[in-house]
A and B are shown apart, each in its own frame.
Chain A
C-alpha cells in the first residue's frame, strides 16, 4: 500500500467548516452534505473542506484534538507508557499534514502542533520497532498491537512481512521433513 493511498482514505474523515457562501443540501453517493449557510458551521469530508478552502470559500475549524495542550498531554502519556496509547483519530498524522499544509492560517500555533505530532509519531515508531524486535527475538507466532494507525503499519509492513517469511522458513528447517513436499507454482 502506498502512503498516498492512506492519505486518500484519510480524506474521508469529516471536519467542521464555516462556509462564507450559501448552497442547498447537495446529494452525493457518500451521503448528503449541507445545507451551507454563511457563518453556520457544517460537517464535511476533508477533501471537500480543502477544496473549498483553496478557493477561499470557507474557514476550517480544526478538530478538537488538534490543540497544543491536548497534544502535549498525549506526548507525555505516549512517552510514559510502554504500550501504544489510543490516538484521537485513526488518521492523526495524515490529517495534521493535510490541514496544516492547506489551512495553517485557520489553526492557531500551527508550527507547535506540527512539532508535537511529529514527536508523537517518532515515539510511536520507536515503540513499534522495539516491539517488532522483541516479537522476532522471542520467536512469537502472533502478537496483538492495539491502537496502531494505518500509516504506522504501512511504514514497516514490507520489511516485517519479508523478515517473518524468512524466519518461518529458517524455523521450519528445525523440523526436518516438514518443509519437504511443498511446491510453489509459478
Chain B
C-alpha cells in the first residue's frame, strides 16, 4: 500500500488524450515526419536547413504531434503526415511475428499512445496499424504479467527496460498487488506505519514565505 500526495492522471491511450496526464503531454511533443502541401510564408526560421524566408510547398520536415494534429485537415491540405518507421509495413511484420523480442522503450517509448494518435491522420493503413497495436499488446501481456507478479524484492530495472510507458504503468500495478500480498503474508501489514505525507511534511518557517 503506497500513499501518494497526488493521484497521477492516467494517459488516455486511445485516440483521445487526457489533458492533465503528464504522459500525454510528453507524448504530444513526439516529432512526426511531415511534408508541407502549401507555402508557409515567413516561417522559414522553423526550417534550419534552408535560408529562405518562407517554407516552400513540398518541404519535408519534422513537426511535433500537437502542431501536426492542429494543422492537419482533410479538406484543406496544409500538410501530409508520414508514418514513423515503427508503424510502417516492415515493422508491423516484425510485431506480428513476435512482439516479445522488440524493445518498445527504444521504439517508443510511447508506442501505443503515438500509434493511436496516428489514427487521426487518415492514412489507408489505419486499420492495420490499430490491429497491430492490439496484437502487440496482447502478445506481450503474458510476459509482462508473469514478470510483474513474480519479481518480489529484486531489481526490476532489467525487466522494465524494454517496456513501453503504458506497460510500465501496468507493471507497477502488478507489483503493488504482489507487494501488498507478500507484506501481509509476512505479517508486516498489521504494523502501523507513518503516512508518507506526514514523513515529508516539514514545518514551514514564516521567513521562507516572506522574502
Docked CA distance A139–B146 (Å): 19
The answer, among A2, A174, A180, A184, for a CB contact under 8 Å with B131, is A174
B68 interface contact, C-beta 8 A: no
Instruction: Please give the number of chain B residues whose Cβ is less than 8 angstroms from any Cβ of chain A in the complex.
Output: 45
Name A's interface SS: helix
Q: Which residues of A contact B10 (CB under 8 A)?
A: 165
In the complex, B83 has a CB within 8 A of chain A = no
Q: Which residues of B contact A101 (CB under 8 A)?
A: 187
Interface members, chain A 133-186 (any B CB < 8 Å) = 133, 136-137, 139, 151, 154-159, 162-163, 165-167, 169-174, 176, 179-180, 182-184, 186
Interface pair B189/A159, CB less than 8 Å apart: no
CB within 8 Å for A2 and B13 given contacts A157-B177, A159-B173:
no
Tally of contact residues, A, Cβ under 8 A: 37
Stretch of B38-46, B51-59, B74-82, B178-186 on the interface side = B178-186
**Which of B133, B138, B180 is in CB contact (< 8 Å) with A139?**
B138
Chain B residue numbers with a CB within 8 Å of A159 are: 145, 148-149, 170, 173-174, 177
Q: Which residues of B contact A (CB under 8 A)?
A: 1, 9-10, 12-16, 18-20, 112, 116, 119, 126-127, 130-131, 133-134, 137-139, 141-142, 145-146, 148-149, 166, 169-170, 173-174, 176-178, 180-181, 183-185, 187, 189-190
